[in-house]
Amino acid sequence: MTDEQSLSGDATGHPGSTPDMRVSHADRDQVVDILRDAAGDGRITAEELDERVEAALTARTVKDLAALTADLPAPPAEPSTQSKDLIKIDQRLGTVERTGPWVVPRRMEIRITAGDVKLDFTEAVINHDQLTIDVDLGIGADLLLVTKPGILVNADDLTVRLGDFKIRQFRDESNAPVVLRVEVTGRIRGGDIAVRPPRRTLGQWMRGESAI
């Protein structure tokens, strides 16, 4: 690995940097973080860490910093926050969950023969204002949507032959700006769809606080 390759891809995060380009305080700090992680993994000794950190803090150019990380693996890439046009979930048994900072697509196709699917929007990454969910739920299939203020769910085009569709709204979300409209279409042939806010923890319940 050359000095230029090491730094342009790993250290400063600025693709196309030339070896003699001057670095910033943020570039130096980034390399120090890489070195500390390497020491924590046992890749370099404490003495090497001290020497390289001192060199990083006084580095002037891209080439100076690159030499300090040339023998270390590249840090993991940041997770993508780009929205997909379509996500398909075909669940026959068991449970599928989307929780935490998952990226909401523009459309979802959810087929559940017998199992559970949970979509938790409370920490989701929302890059657009419309999501269409086309469902096909069999007997014993359940879909749960956990929402937050500003997420509106509409199911006017949903066909329910056997099963239930239940929406539990927030007590007062009249002042919340709309961040996402969810259109649920398709059919329920024996399963259930529930839309509700997140459940409160015991501490939140005792303090009279909401879950969000």
User: Could you report the per-residue pLDDT of 133-191, keeping only the tens digit for each?
Assistant: 999 999 889 999 999 999 999 999 999 988 888 888 665 555 778 899 999 999 999 88
Please give the pLDDT value at position 79: 59
- The series of mean pLDDT values per 10 residues for the chain, 212 residues long, is 40 60 88 89 92 94 92 72 83 87 94 92 93 94 93 92 82 73 94 86 53 54
Residue 34 CB burial class (10 angstroms; 0-12, 13-18, ≥19) = buried
What is the structure's pLDDT at 1? 38
pLDDT score for 76: 67
Q: How far apart are CA 125 and CA 101, in angstroms?
A: 6
* 91 touches 115 (CB < 8 A): yes
Its pTM stands at 0.59
Residues 190 and 140: beta-carbon distance below 8 Å: yes
